[in-house]
Structure 1
Amino acid sequence: MAKMVIHGGKRLSGSVTIGGSKNSTVAIIPATILSDTPVVLDSVPQIKDVYNLMALMDEMGVKSDFQGEILKIDPTQIFPISLSHNKVTSLRASYYFIGSLLGRFGKAVVGFPGGDDIGPRPIDQHIKGFKALGATITEKDNYIVVEARNGLHGARIFLDMASVGATINIILAAVKAQGTTIIENAAKEPEIIDLATFLNNMGANIRGVGTQTIRITGVDCLKATNSHTIIPDRIEAGTYLSIAASSGNGILIKNIIAEHLDAFLAKVQELGVNLDVREDSIFVYPNSQLTGVEIKTSPYPGFATDLQQPLTPLLLLADSQSTIIDTLYPKRTRHIPELIKMGAKIKVVDSKIVIEHTDHFNAAEVTAEEIRGGASLMVTGLMAPGTTVINQAENIMRGYDRVIDKLRSLQADVSYSGSEKF
């Protein structure tokens, strides 16, 4: 069990550069096995999930090399294997191998995915899409077996909800299928656009990403000719914005696509945070008086569920009540008892998170049970005078690129006891 130790209560300053998107990266890495040539990815975040995916690919004969921000992947010698439950429980994004293996080999045998425990996240919409494309689905022990014995064919698929995971998985399966696939009520997240850009640059024919209707015409071959640069991580950016607004004496956050953060920035400015939004960066001024806000998460372009927890510590500084309703994952509240240990005045009332002004935070020993909940503890620990110890800090490392180095560049006093070289 890794620990993050924070000596908090210090005002921070300087600049920090946002890394490549975790949510793009964990979709694009499985997508690389659809390529008939080696692939080069740039701006890849140094996070635990990347190394977990590399280990899974190594089991399939896919060699990879990760140096700095450059990840080279050679899928040309890939062979199909079953990805066991034990191998895939470390991260939920392993389920993207279902779509990519199905698209490459016509069959995928994958253990049920793991990842953070933030409430029910069923894969019924993924299965609905695979069936429409001509696959049969069977479940055996802890495995899901998806097989298209007569090949995959295009289909019209209406998603009952705009699921990011299902949209991505269907794209991965359909990109080499015969004919045209139309996904209606598709998710619109920037990470889906990034995936489609990667695939299109290799010869795929995907249109309409970023809208509710995506059209995919199958192709026979995908070949990488240039490296693909991962888009900046909007969730990491939002987390550092929360740090800058709560503990900063003026912090510049670089490598940002502000349009990806429109809903988040609107709420931050409604709070009273003074921002200078520039072409590819945001300067966060020191803040004194903040006013409570009401937040309701929703699919993109709405307020991202992944940002409600990192923003919560900042809401505790507001002089009036704030509320959060997470319409996507209402059970995403496991960080709240840990925040209470640190002095936070926060509670859950009828699936609504109610946040009151908190004028004093105390250091404590707490546990990061998942990525974004861990981020909320990290932001609070930076505010709290004294020494905060965050157990299971490896969960934070799953989602935040070189976080210790970046916090130290802002003059934070932090350390990490895990074995990862971030």
Structure 2
Amino acid sequence: MDSILVRGGRRLAGRIPISGAKNACLALMPAALLTDDPLTLTNAPRLSDIRTMRQLLESLGCEVASLQAGGVLVIGAQEIANHTADYDIVRKMRASILVLGPMLARDGHAVVSLPGGCAIGARPVDLHLMGLERLGATLELRDGYVHASAPSGLRGGVVDFPMVSVGATENLLMAATLARGTTVLRNAAREPEIVDLARCLRAMGAQIAGEGTETIEIEGVARLHGATHPVVADRIELGTYMLAPAIAGGEVELVGGRRELVAAFADKLEEAGVSVEETAEGVKVSRHNGRILPVDVETAPYPGFPTDLQAQMMALLTLADGVSRLEERIFENRFMHAPELTRMGARIEVHGGAATVTGVERLKGAPVMATDLRASVSLILAGLGAEGETRVARVYHLDRGYERVEEKLSACGAEIERVTERAA
């Protein structure tokens, strides 16, 4: 099993290219099920989650080709040969549920296993199912599978989400493109990944208005066609690498990133004393003198502070000159990285959905274990700013969401390598 070895104490300098967004690509790929023409995605990241979604689509009868070393995906669903998304694939990743809406909209029936993914708290699919029922689907949960049918096709309707859900918004947005009549999604998610999906669907012939706001309106069409669409830059990868020079010191330009994708996060970085500057090619982050200032953070749906950057931000605040408080409002079980940071000398107290971080002057390298995707990279970031050697185990989580992390950080002067543990 692989581990990441980090030797801290090196200031960073250089440029890091930001990959296409994993979470955007995982919604764009199932959109190919809505048409019998090929859908071409450029700037696709090369990640294990993308491979899992590819495996799932191929199991349904899609043909998926990778071009230019995996940066371009061409997905063809001339016909959906199999309408059952099996547990063996779906259990690996919660985004697998996003094949439900497109299959139901196109062919009127689908059977999809309840999904899996990171163990960071309850992420139920009830909002997906409630929304599809509003569009006329008949649903039954049986033996761990969602059995969905709409033999006469879906019909437009009004869906009021009781809480904001990115996945449910994506599923309903795709399903509504082929529903008869008008669909209105209220309290819809506003994330850049939603906007990116809407732009792709519009390029395929969908009629959509209001993406990026709380109300999205979709006028169903009889057919969608193929398109070529570039995947938006990964705002979570962007925020993660913005933290690298903030923790280790130095200056790094994140090429292809845009501040608007992480505005609330960038504001907090500046509040902590880190310089964030927009450039012609991306975003430049630097920290040269003095300790980090303490800040309070509360996660929230977009455009608020992203829950997917909370663990990484905690790594920074362990080195602040004072006391910071982080409140997790999205997932109830997302402080599993705190005990591992404590092994490195951090002072963290967790009480329910809040963590109090009392900054220390320095962290010390230690063997630690990743518990989920974002926790894994938070420990790597902490290692960049720690004295000595940090070994992060169970980094298979990391490969689900970060492409070539060792290469990108090494190019800026970090001493980091992947090591393979041999079985005894």
Secondary structure of the residue aligned to 2:29 is: helix
Structure 1 residue aligned with 2:136: 134
One of 362, 386, 389 as aligned partner of 1:387? 389
Alignment of 1:3-402 (within 5 A): 3-67=3-67, 68=69, 69-225=71-227, 227-287=228-288, 288-402=290-404
1:76, distance to aligned residue in structure 2 (A) = 1.4
Question: Is this contact kept in 1: 2:83–2:109, CA < 8 A?
Answer: no
Question: Is this contact kept in 1: 2:155–2:179, CA < 8 A?
Answer: yes
Deviations 1:312-335 (A, max 9, x none): 111112101111101111321111
Question: Is this contact kept in 2: 1:258–1:280, CA < 8 A?
Answer: no
Q: Name whichever of 305-314 and 4-13 sits farther off.
A: 4-13
Question: Is this contact kept in 2: 1:297–1:305, CA < 8 A?
Answer: yes
Question: Is this contact kept in 2: 1:394–1:418, CA < 8 A?
Answer: no
Secondary structure of the residue aligned to 1:16 is: strand
Query: For residues 78 and 306 of structure 2, what CA distance do their matches in structure 1 show?
Result: 37
Query: For residues 126 and 193 of structure 1, what CA distance do their matches in structure 2 show?
Result: 18
Question: Is this contact kept in 2: 1:47–1:402, CA < 8 A?
Answer: no
Query: For residues 31 and 2 of structure 1, what CA distance do their matches in structure 2 show?
Result: 33
Query: For residues 350 and 151 of structure 1, what CA distance do their matches in structure 2 show?
Result: 45
What one-letter code is carried by the residue in structure 2 that aligns with 1:37? Answer: D
Root mean square deviation, CA, Å: 1.5
1:417, distance to aligned residue in structure 2 (A) = 4.5
Question: Is this contact kept in 1: 2:258–2:278, CA < 8 A?
Answer: no
Secondary structure of the residue aligned to 2:139 is: strand
Q: Name whichever of 134-143 and 402-411 sits farther off.
A: 402-411
Deviations 1:347-403 (A, max 9, x none): 202421111112222222222121111111110122223332212201111111221
Q: Name whichever of 315-324 and 362-371 sits farther off.
A: 362-371
Q: Name whichever of 286-295 and 210-219 sits farther off.
A: 286-295
Gaps of 5+ in 2: none
Query: For residues 325 and 109 of structure 2, what CA distance do their matches in structure 1 show?
Result: 45
Secondary structure of the residue aligned to 1:198 is: helix
Question: Is this contact kept in 2: 1:126–1:165, CA < 8 A?
Answer: yes
What one-letter code is carried by the residue in structure 1 that aligns with 2:98? Answer: Y
Query: For residues 363 and 292 of structure 2, what CA distance do their matches in structure 1 show?
Result: 17
1:407, distance to aligned residue in structure 2 (A) = 1.5
Question: Is this contact kept in 1: 2:59–2:82, CA < 8 A?
Answer: no
Query: For residues 196 and 11 of structure 2, what CA distance do their matches in structure 1 show?
Result: 36
What one-letter code is carried by the residue in structure 2 that aligns with 1:34? Answer: L
Deviations 1:232-251 (A, max 9, x none): 11110100011121113211
Provide TM-score, normalisation by structure 2: 0.95
Deviations 1:176-223 (A, max 9, x none): 011111111111111000000000001011111111111111111111
1:3, distance to aligned residue in structure 2 (A) = 1.8
Change (3 A) 1:215 1:418: farther
Question: Is this contact kept in 2: 1:62–1:78, CA < 8 A?
Answer: yes
Question: Is this contact kept in 1: 2:364–2:388, CA < 8 A?
Answer: yes
1:62, distance to aligned residue in structure 2 (A) = 1.0
Question: Is this contact kept in 1: 2:294–2:321, CA < 8 A?
Answer: yes
What one-letter code is carried by the residue in structure 1 that aligns with 2:201? Answer: L
Query: For residues 319 and 279 of structure 1, what CA distance do their matches in structure 2 show?
Result: 33
Question: Is this contact kept in 1: 2:60–2:82, CA < 8 A?
Answer: yes
Provide TM-score, normalisation by structure 1: 0.96
What one-letter code is carried by the residue in structure 1 that aligns with 2:371? Answer: E
Query: For residues 403 and 78 of structure 1, what CA distance do their matches in structure 2 show?
Result: 36
Question: Is this contact kept in 1: 2:100–2:110, CA < 8 A?
Answer: yes
Question: Is this contact kept in 2: 1:205–1:217, CA < 8 A?
Answer: yes
1:22, distance to aligned residue in structure 2 (A) = 1.1
Question: Is this contact kept in 2: 1:15–1:254, CA < 8 A?
Answer: yes
Query: For residues 98 and 391 of structure 1, what CA distance do their matches in structure 2 show?
Result: 34
1:275, distance to aligned residue in structure 2 (A) = 2.1
Query: For residues 389 and 319 of structure 2, what CA distance do their matches in structure 1 show?
Result: 20
Change (3 A) 1:378 1:279: same
Q: Name whichever of 8-17 and 211-220 sits farther off.
A: 8-17
Query: For residues 143 and 202 of structure 1, what CA distance do their matches in structure 2 show?
Result: 30
Question: Is this contact kept in 2: 1:119–1:329, CA < 8 A?
Answer: yes
Deviations 1:268-316 (A, max 9, x none): 1011112222344122222423211111111111111111111111111
Query: For residues 368 and 144 of structure 2, what CA distance do their matches in structure 1 show?
Result: 32
Query: For residues 219 and 417 of structure 1, what CA distance do their matches in structure 2 show?
Result: 52
Change (3 A) 1:418 1:33: farther
Q: Name whichever of 154-163 and 280-289 sits farther off.
A: 280-289
What one-letter code is carried by the residue in structure 1 that aligns with 2:282? Answer: S
Gaps of 5+ in 1: none
Question: Is this contact kept in 1: 2:36–2:79, CA < 8 A?
Answer: no
Question: Is this contact kept in 2: 1:36–1:221, CA < 8 A?
Answer: no
